[in-house]
Amino acid sequence: MKRTMNTWIFGIIAACFVFAVESDACTRAVYIGPDQTILTGRTMDFSIEIPANLWVFPRGMERSGQVGQNSFRWTSRYGSIIASSWDIATTDGMNERGLVANLLWLVQSEYPEFDVEGKKEGITIAAWAQYALDSFATVAEAVDSLRKEEFVVVTDFIPGTDKFTTVHLSLSDATGDSAIFEYVNGSLMIHHSRAYQVMTNDPVFEEQLAIRGYWEHVPGTLFLPGSNRATDRFVRASYYIRAIPQTSDRRVAVASLFSVIRNVSVPYGISTEGQPHISSTRWRVVADQKHLVYYFENVLTPNVLWVDLTEIDFSAGAPVRKLSLDAGQVYAGNALEHFIESEPFEFQGL
C-alpha cells in the first residue's frame, strides 16, 4: 500500500513538472455562492515594485486609445473604480454594474501587427481593461463586442524597464459569468463560461483547462501541489474556491475569498534561483459584485481598505477622484472620504 501511495504521489508531482512553465505570478478566482453572491479576488504579483493608486471614474469620459492618429475612441457608459499601475494603466477594477476586469501577465501573448498609418484603429494595452469597464455591464456583452475586433491591442515596453507588456484579460460579472481574452500567435482567443472560475498568469488558458481536468480526479484533502509555480497556484485556487464556505453572508464570503488568494500569494521578497519570473505578491483585491464593494490590500501596509460603489456619484460630469497609495499611505475600512478630486492619468501609449 505504501509503495502504491508513493508511486501515485510521484506521478502527480511528475505531471506538475510536465505542465510547469516559468512565469510572472498572478492568480484570479471567482466565488459563486447562494443568493447571487458573486465575488472576484486576485493577486498582483510582479518582479519589481508596481505602485498602485485607486481611481474613481464617472460616466461620460471621452477616451482615446493613445496610439496616434489611428486611435480608437469611446465615451464611458459606466462609472468605475480601478487600481492603476504607475498611473499609466488600468490593471484591475469594477464598474457600477458589477463587471470586474483583471489584467494578468501571459508570457506567450502575441498581438496582431498595428500599422499607425493603416485603416484599423488601435488601443494601448494600458487601456484595454478600462475600455471593458467603461463599455459593458455583462461578460456576454463584452464577448459579443470584443470578438468583432474593432480595434488592435497595441503593446510596448513598460517605461524604464526591459519588460515588454504581455498580458491577458479576464472579465467576470454579477451573474458569475467569466471570460478570458488572450492573443495567441497574433489571434484573439476567447474562453467564455461560468465554469471558468480560476485562472493564473501562465500558461495559455487552454492548457490551464487541461491541468484542471487532470487534478479534478485527485482528492485535494489528500494532496495539493504547494510551490509558487502558476500551475500549482491554479490547482490550489481551483480546489479551495469550492472548499471554502458557500454562503450569502457577505463577511464570511469576503473573508473566505481573501483566504484563498492569500493562500496562492507569493511571500514578499521571495526570489527563486533559475526562475526569475516567479514574483512577490504586491497587492490583492476582492470585488463584491453583489453589494458593489471593492476591497484592496497592499502587502506593505497592515490593513484592508474598501470602497462602496453605491456611495459614489458616477454621473457624467462628476469629478474624477484619486486615493494615493503609492507612497505607503495607510488607510483602513471605508476609504471613500479620503479620495480627492484629480485630473485623470494618461494611459501610456505610443
The set of catalytic residues is: 26
Among the listed residues 16, 134, 6, 1, the one whose alpha carbon sits nearest the alpha carbon of residue 64: 134
Distance, in Å, from the CA atom of 42 to the CA atom of 29, rounded to the nearest integer, reads 6
DSSP state of 109: B
**Which three cell numbers mark 227?**
510551490
Residues 222, 228, 230, 231, CA torsion sign: negative
How do 152-154 and 122-124 pair as beta strands? parallel
Distance, in Å, from the CA atom of 54 to the CA atom of 296, rounded to the nearest integer, reads 9
Q: Are 122 and 151 in contact (CB under 8 A)?
A: yes
Which string of b and e fits 246-285 if b means at least 16 CB within 10 Å?
eeeeeeebbebbbebbebbbbeeeeeeeeeebbbbbbbbb
**Which three cell numbers mark 239?**
480546489
Residue owning grid cell 489611428: 70
Backbone angles phi, psi at 95, to 5 degrees: -95, 175
Question: Distances from the Cα of 114 to the Cαs of 68, 117, 146, 186, in angstroms?
Answer: 11, 9, 17, 11
Distance, in Å, from the CA atom of 28 to the CA atom of 313, rounded to the nearest integer, reads 28
Backbone angles phi, psi at 45, to 5 degrees: -115, 130
Q: Are 266 and 45 in contact (CB under 8 A)?
A: yes
Phi-psi category of residue 290: left, alpha or beta, with phi > 0 → left and psi -120 to 50 → alpha = alpha
DSSP state of 155: -
